[in-house]
Amino acid sequence: MERGERTKIMTANDCYELGYILRTHALYGEFSAYLDVDYLEDYEDMTTVFVDIKKQLVSFEVESVRILPNKPKTALIKLKGIDTIEQAQTLGKATLYLPLAALPKLQGTDFYYHEVTNFQVIDVNKGELGTIKTIYSMQHSELIAMDYREKEVLIPINNETILSIDREKKQMNVNLPDGLLEVYLEEEPKNTKRIK
């Protein structure tokens, strides 16, 4: 890899994680990559990608992206300046990133996980509750982790719960299921009788 191929360095705070390299492919610098996106075809025309090389995000021009129809979320990628299998091997299983600015703007109750961190959660019945700390992505569900009265409360992400998002005020308006907060606030029962 030539030094001249490294054109720009950014931090992870400027980017979102696109996916990661799986393995090299053939002899001419191509590699297969897992892309953690909903629509692979939206990324066929990307011109630049950032590769995590020794904890630095380094920009590479993208020569081609070929979707593999028989492998979900997998594409063959060729970067400019990576022309041999040996050069591709130096990238290992590096993580791939794109700038946050490249994300299309979302409307309504659709949101990117990173953008709602530190948003205030406001319930339609209980008012202001707490601050979003992170999103947990499980196998069959996604959950908002919110700090509430010094406890972590998990809120399901669905159309019934998330009512609206105000990006200017950094607020998420919700209608929490009945009893959800109480489950997290319940103290463990104390034994009143001592067994001797």
- Give tens-digit pLDDT for 149-193: 989 999 999 999 999 999 999 999 999 999 999 999 875 545 545
Position 110 scores a pLDDT of: 86
- What's the pLDDT at 187? 59
Query: 8 pLDDT exceeds 90?
Result: no
Size of the chain in residues: 196
Is the pLDDT score of 2 beyond 60?
A: no
Tens-digit pLDDT profile for residues 98-156: 998 888 777 788 888 888 999 999 999 999 999 999 999 877 788 999 999 989 999 99
Per cent of the chain over pLDDT 70 is 90
User: Cα separation of 154 and 181, whole Å?
Assistant: 9
Measured from the Cβ of residue 32, the count of other Cβ atoms closer than 10 Å reads 16
Segment 85-98 mean pLDDT:
95
Q: Which domains does the chain have, with CATH numbers?
A: 3-101 (2.40.30.60), 113-184 (2.30.30.240)
Provide the 3-class DSSP secondary structure of residue 153.
Answer: strand
Residue 4: pLDDT over 50: no
> What is the structure's pLDDT at 6?
44
- Give the model's pLDDT for residue 191: 52
- Determine the pLDDT at residue 84: 96
pLDDT number for residue 193: 52
Average pLDDT over residues 61-74: 93
pLDDT exceeds 90 at position 39:
no
Mean model confidence pLDDT for the chain:
88
How much is the pLDDT for 76?
A: 97
* CA neighbours closer than 13 Å in the CB half-sphere of residue 48: 16
Give start and end residues of each alpha helix (H) in the chain: 85-89, 180-185
Q: In the chain, what is the straight-line distance between the N-terminal and C-terminal CA atoms, in Å?
A: 73
Enter the pTM of the model.
0.63
